[in-house]
Amino acid sequence: MQTQPKASHFIDGQYVEDTSGELIEVVYPATGEVIAKVHAATPAIIEQAITAAHRAQKDWAKMSGTARGRVLRRAADIMRERNHDLSVLETYDTGKPYQETSVADATSGADALEYFGGLAGSLTGEHIQLGDDWVYTRREPLGLCVGIGAWNYPTQIACWKGAPALACGNAMIFKPSENTPLCALKVAEILMEAGAPAGLYNVVQGMGAVGASLVTDPRVDKVSLTGSVPTGKKVYAAAAAGIKHVTMELGGKSPLVIFDDANLEDAVGGAILANFYSSGQICSNGTRVFVQKGLRAAFVKRLAERLGTAVIGDPMDPETNFGPLVSARQMEIVQGYIAKGVAEGATLVCGGERLDKPGFWITPVIFDGVTDEMTIAREEIFGPVLSVLEFEDEDEVIARANATEFGLSAGVFTNDFTRAHRVIAQLEAGTCFINSYNDAPVEAPFGGMKNSGVGRENSKAAIEHYSQLKTVYVRMGHVEAPY
Ligand code: NAD
């Protein structure tokens, strides 16, 4: 497959290059080979993107919602038709196994385009009767939205931000992570092919500095970031200086609580989905696995057995279900946490070996006997490291699960449905699961509480974050003024 894009950026309906921008080498995580080279956006490129997006947005907002939606739904169809090639590219960009990318990336991007395409025609304001007078509200676009992505879901993030933004009549400039610059370019290409006007959805490459210059530009109306909490704090502050709208999808250290009446196989399956998909590089992962005392030994034994059957190897092989980490740097970060876990007294049940081959491979890790104060129980690792923490009763586990700055996700496994709902209601997290983990259908709101985020992606809730209301008071009679 051709992994080198025609040029670094996609602006005003076409590929654009400016080789004076800093060089970014795109590395295939499975082999460490350089598979493409792009350049970070220069001020001239950013200017070109903002000018094009501004122009395109004006005309796009004048179209009917149904007509806008038709473009998005056409783009969804094209994405599905090209799922194989897009999935292979996603695997090159991220290292995630094709077995995952072929069902979770372009497909979920297409779901977002289809869903928001369907909603676009039904976006309305309301009519409020006040005696003879009345008020109506107009749901208007925000204008120019900037999307900034993390590297774990490059296609999905580009669509989860782009689809609601465009449905509401906005234009978008998307800056992918510098680790995974390839996939968003395909999203831009497909949108143009589906009939979006040139300039409506632009992609510019670059590191944090490019993101920062977009966030601070006064012509940008909204910023949606998917990234870590420290980056979120910087971007939120910069956006606040310009009173811009924000959506912040940030990191997590989510609790997965398993009571001893849970179905063991389901709980183990849930813990696997909560920790090892995408080699553990998922924001919503339930990495603090609280297991009730009576079930803990059996749980750890069965988990280790099932993890032993993971197929680790060539990500392009459809049988492979566990791939490398995204970069050498991420691998070093994860190795550092594993070493800390051991040094602080956790029991390494299995995993953590670096595979003796090129690329960024670490085998999946189970730590048992983890306590709340250990570094691996407090900080987001963003790698395949599961920590088992023992608990005795419900009140205790709720307090311990909530004792974190994060609040992205939480899960409960139990066969006692009253308890399931009672516990979930008390967990401080935005996206929760009962007897399941990490499902993210486009119909459901997704996002975090506390330091894990602001705003929601997906579902009808996202419309609130990509549009604004204008209130219009209409007087039917004469104006009575005191003077
Ligand atoms: P990161 O915070 O390092 O970078 C995210 C993006 O922000 C990148 O595109 C980066 O170039 C850009 N950036 C960095 N500094 C910036 C600045 N000052 N101004 C503007 N942009 C800037 O995150 P990452 O390492 O790419 O991704 C991993 C993190 O993302 C994890 O913490 C993970 O939990 C989080 N994440 C959250 C979600 C979610 O939906 N909540 C989803 C995926 C990943």
The pLDDT score that the predictor gives to residue 344 is: 98
Feature table: binding site for K(+): 27, 93, 243, 450, 453
Over residues 70-126, the pLDDT tens digits come to: 999 999 999 999 999 999 999 999 999 999 999 999 999 999 999 999 999 999 999
Pick the atom of ligand 1 nearest to 228's CA: 32
In this structure, the answer to whether residues 201 and 266 fall within a common structural domain is no
The pLDDT score that the predictor gives to residue 147 is: 99
* Phi, psi for 93 (deg, rounded to 5): -65, -40
Residue 475 inside a domain? The answer is no
pTM of the model: 0.98
The pLDDT score that the predictor gives to residue 97 is: 98
Feature table: binding site for NAD(+): 149-151, 175-178, 251, 283, 380
* Phi, psi for 354 (deg, rounded to 5): -85, 130
**Residues lining ligand 1, CB < 6 A?**
148-152, 175, 177-178, 207-208, 211-212, 215, 226-228, 231, 234-235, 249-252, 283, 380, 382, 408, 448, 453
Residue 447 inside a domain? The answer is no
Residue 284 CB partners (closer than 8 Å, separation 6+): 252, 254, 408, 409, 431, 438, 440, 446
Residue 483, number of CB atoms within 10 A of its CB: 2
The pLDDT score that the predictor gives to residue 411 is: 98
Residue 280 inside a domain? The answer is yes
How far from each other are the two terminal CA atoms of the chain, in whole angstroms? Answer: 77
The pLDDT score that the predictor gives to residue 355 is: 96
The pLDDT score that the predictor gives to residue 220 is: 98
In this structure, the answer to whether residues 321 and 379 fall within a common structural domain is yes
In this structure, the answer to whether residues 287 and 312 fall within a common structural domain is yes
Tell me the C-alpha distance between 205 and 9, whole Å.
6
The pLDDT score that the predictor gives to residue 20 is: 98
Residue 341, number of CB atoms within 10 A of its CB: 23
Q: What is the mean pLDDT of the chain?
A: 98
In this structure, the answer to whether residues 239 and 286 fall within a common structural domain is no
Give the residue, by CA position, lying nearest to ligand 1 atom 22: 208
Residue 21 inside a domain? The answer is yes
Amino acid at position 281, single letter: Q
Residue 441 inside a domain? The answer is no
Structural domains counted in the chain:
2
Mean pLDDT of 401-414: 98
Structural domain containing residue 459 = 9-251+452-470
Span from the CA of 305 to the centroid of ligand 1 (angstroms): 34
**Opening angle at CA 70, ends 66 and 71, nearest 5:** 125
The pLDDT score that the predictor gives to residue 145 is: 99
What are the tokens at 194?
A: 């589906």
> Whose CA is closest to 10, among 153, 144, 158, 117?
158
Over residues 224-276, the pLDDT tens digits come to: 999 999 999 999 999 999 999 999 999 999 999 999 999 999 999 999 999 99
In this structure, the answer to whether residues 16 and 152 fall within a common structural domain is yes
In this structure, the answer to whether residues 223 and 307 fall within a common structural domain is no
In this structure, the answer to whether residues 456 and 346 fall within a common structural domain is no
Residue 58 inside a domain? The answer is yes
In this structure, the answer to whether residues 225 and 325 fall within a common structural domain is no
In this structure, the answer to whether residues 14 and 147 fall within a common structural domain is yes
Residue 348 contacts residue 383 (beta carbons within 8 Å): no
* Phi, psi for 452 (deg, rounded to 5): -80, -5
- The 3-state DSSP class for residue 276 equals coil
The pLDDT score that the predictor gives to residue 382 is: 97
Span from the CA of 366 to the centroid of ligand 1 (angstroms): 26
In this structure, the answer to whether residues 187 and 332 fall within a common structural domain is no
Q: Which residue has the tokens 């501004």?
A: 54
The pLDDT score that the predictor gives to residue 281 is: 98
- The 3-state DSSP class for residue 371 equals coil
CATH of the domain at 420: 3.40.309.10
What are the tokens at 21?
A: 């921008």
CATH of the domain at 121: 3.40.605.10
What are the helix (H) ranges across 131-290?
154-167, 183-193, 208-215, 229-241, 264-273
Residue 411 contacts residue 273 (beta carbons within 8 Å): no
pLDDT band at 395 (very low <50, low <70, confident <90, very high): very high
Residue 306 contacts residue 333 (beta carbons within 8 Å): no
What are the helix (H) ranges across 105-196?
106-120, 154-167, 183-193
Residue 287 inside a domain? The answer is yes
> Which of 156, 180, 220, 226 maximizes ligand 1 atoms within 8 Å of its Cβ, making it the mutation to test the pocket?
226
In this structure, the answer to whether residues 335 and 458 fall within a common structural domain is no
In this structure, the answer to whether residues 318 and 406 fall within a common structural domain is yes
Residue 4 contacts residue 92 (beta carbons within 8 Å): no
The per-type count for the chain, helices as H runs and strands as E runs, is 16, 20
- Cite the active site residues: 161, 249, 283, 457
Residue 421 inside a domain? The answer is yes
Span from the CA of 251 to the centroid of ligand 1 (angstroms): 8
